[in-house]
Amino acid sequence: MAALFRLFPVDPVLAAAAVLATAMPSAVNNFILARGMGLDSDYASEIIAATVILSSVTIPLWISWV
């Protein structure tokens, strides 16, 4: 996403907002939907936990870059 915004002329504020929005962790409602539909809610909770932990490191890097 960030590379595409570097190639195509886009308002810098819009580009920064879009890059930061795509860097956010998975939403908790994924777990609720998986549990309600009888899908693999354990896997969904692992994905949510992993993305929250990883985003705590990567989001400050993205903020400093954009």
- For 11-66, the pLDDT digits (tens) are 989 888 988 888 888 888 888 889 999 999 899 999 999 999 999 999 898 888 87
b/e map of 27-51 (b: 16 or more CB within 10 Å)?
A: eeebbeebeeeeeebeebbebbeeb
Does the pLDDT at position 1 exceed 80? no
pLDDT recorded at residue 66: 78
pLDDT recorded at residue 42: 92
pLDDT recorded at residue 53: 93
pLDDT recorded at residue 38: 92
What is the number of domains present in the chain? 1
Please give the residue range of the domain that contains residue 13: 2-65
In 3D, which of 19, 13, 31, 6 has the Cα closest to residue 55?
A: 19
